[in-house]
A and B are shown apart, each in its own frame.
Chain A
Amino acid sequence: MHLPDLRADFPLLTRTVRNGKDLVYLDSGATSQRPQAVLDAVRDFEERHNGAVARGAHLLAEEATGLFEAARSSVATLVGASFDEIVWTENATAAINLVASGIGNASAGIGGEEAALFRIGPGDEICVTETEHHANLVPWQQLAIRTGATLRWIPVDDLGRLILDDLDTLVTERTKVLAFTHVSNVTGVISPVATLVARAKAVGALTVLDACQSVPHLPVDVKDLDVDFAAFSGHKMLGPTGIGALYGRKDLLDALPPSIFGGGAVTVVSMDSTAWHEAPTRFEAGTQPVAQAVGMGAAAEYLMELGMESVEAHEREIGHLLRQGVAEIPGVRLLGPVGSADERDVIGLAAFVVDGVHPHDVGQLLDDRGVAVRVGHHCAQPLHRRFGVTGSTRASAHVYTTPADAEAFLSALAEVPAFFGVSV
């Protein structure tokens, strides 16, 4: 394996479930567990350093501000950004909404001439893909409704891979935003970022990357990828809930109007106008989830210490075990390609359908065997519709997932058809 067994770093993984069974945690795509280093960082902040960030003149305020900004730098380093290109958000959903609402506000005249480059309206287009999580579909769909722009999307093939044949007619001079996921949360398929970004740049469209399923699992360098914005959450990358981050190119962040207005984000306020701070401060009105940000910074440090190349190699290997194992079980249909164990095509997870057995029932039997998986549509209804199903069951890995976890899951899954009286 490319990583040592890390289970000892994750206190939760030592607990038992359902009548004393060992926990086999394969729901990291929904939320990951946190290592001791993250738990300690949060606790240490709460016990020793809590103070008002960027507001006080006392020692605690200084320490809290220092830790808050150091965490921002850690997250920036993880994704290859400059510290002032990382905006704290509540989660990735909030990060994407920050961009979509900012564009909406710019279109309504907020932010003045410096925000004019974001304006969209009737005749303009926003392009997404059929594989998106609702968080990277609904904000754009609603922005289109709000501004009169048209929403278009790149379709996927039977294995959930983007069909790029018509890319040049889907992404044109009319396209103002191209929003797409880096890694599908259902199939694990990695998007052809370079191709998409090149096309967007050729037509002058902004690119927004949903990096929720990539930043925790593979090396991501936003400058190499050359995207304009990227969103990811803390809790999927071994950090706490309630915190996420938006990467944005500095010149764009400094021009994008905020959509949460309030104190701390402004320079001069009069009764009839407001001037905003430079980014990232302009987007961080109100008191921030400071301990959570510190935790996310610690998670970034933990991942960097493991080395993202090793993390990727590990998850590629585990992901392949999961997908190949699932595909080999009679009566079970894998969603997406089996892929390869060493190519950069698909990673870290396996979603599948058991013929004649509803995902909820599949998940229930697995749960009884101590295996935690996700069931349902995974917030990707259009993709499931494309596959001709309402929902699926998903097993997803992280740095702490072992081959033994994959085996335990696969042997429990093999019991499912017979338990529910389906002959295969």
Chain B
Amino acid sequence: MSSLEQMYQQVIMDHARAGHGRGLKDPGLIHVGESHQVNTTCGDEIRLRVGLDGDTVSSVSWEGQGCSISQASVSVLSELVEGESLATAEETMEAFRELMQSKGEPLDDDREDLLGDATAFVGVGKYPARIKCAMLGWSAFKDAVIRAGKDQA
């Protein structure tokens, strides 16, 4: 598999098309946070909304447009963290960040289990210019969670 094929694995292309979580939802909860992130190099944008129910990430939804890497990444993220505890979501986020910094090397089994479909993004780490694309949705998620927390306080 060439580096290019490794980056654009079928699971990534499928997620880019499927767009899980697309369309902002009203979570019907008190603790809601929203974040708007822009990739300044290409102008891609995402608006992502998180609804927290106690310690559970009960709702993740977003709208925006971007390249297949950024779209697939936020789709995977939505599937991975919705319904999980905040602690698990944060661990997953950290594992994904490490995957992006691994220069194309796979992570250990524990973290790969946590990442599920997101392990397919391993090839992105070989292309520093694309890490930002893959991180766009995750950055929005992180920020939205913080804002939801502030909402709480």
Contact = CB atoms under 8 A, between A and B. Distances in A.
Contacts of A384: 43
B7 A359 contact: no
Given A364-B4, A364-B130, A375 B42 contact: yes
Interface string A364-379: 1100100000011100
A338 B122 CA distance: 40
A23 B3 CA distance: 17
Given A368-B4, A376-B41, A377-B43, A360 B133 contact: yes
18 contacts: A18-B3, A358-B66, A358-B68, A360-B42, A360-B69, A361-B8, A361-B68, A361-B69, A364-B4, A364-B8, A368-B3, A376-B41, A377-B43, A384-B43, A391-B42, A419-B8, A420-B8, A421-B13
Interface in B1-59: 2-4, 7-8, 13, 17, 41-44
Interface of B: 2-4, 7-8, 13, 17, 41-44, 65-69, 127, 130, 133
A377 B2 contact: no
B16 to A, nearest CB: 9
A97 B100 CA distance: 38
Contact of A368 (B2, B17, B44, B65): B2
A360 B4 contact: no
A376 B133 contact: no
Given A368-B4, A376-B41, A391-B42, 7 more contacts: A360-B42, A360-B66, A361-B69, A364-B7, A368-B2, A384-B43, A390-B65
Contacts of B41: 376
Contacts of B2: 19, 368
B4 A390 contact: no
Contacts of B43: 376-377, 381, 384, 390-391
A365 B3 CA distance: 10
A420 B68 contact: yes
A376 B42 contact: yes
A18 B127 CA distance: 11
Given A364-B7, A364-B130, A368-B2, A390 B42 contact: yes
A421 B67 CA distance: 14
A115 B142 CA distance: 52
A387 to B, nearest CB: 13
Contacts of B69: 360-361
Contacts of A358: 42, 44, 66-68
Contact of B13 (A364, A377, A420): A420
A361 B67 contact: yes
A381 B39 CA distance: 13
Nearest to A368: B4
A384 B41 CA distance: 14
B39 to A, nearest CB: 9
Contacts of B42: 358-360, 375-377, 390-391
Contacts of B66: 358, 360
Interface string A382-424: 0010000011000000000000000000000000000111000
Contacts of B13: 420-421
Nearest to A369: B4
Given A360-B130, A376-B42, A390-B42, A365 B67 contact: no
A384 B43 CA distance: 10
A390 B68 contact: no
B1 to A, nearest CB: 12
B68 A359 contact: no
Of the candidates B13, B17, B66, B67, the one having the most CB atoms from chain A within 10 angstroms of its own CB is B67
B7 A390 contact: no
Contacts of A364: 4, 7-8, 127, 130
A391 B130 CA distance: 16
Nearest to A359: B42
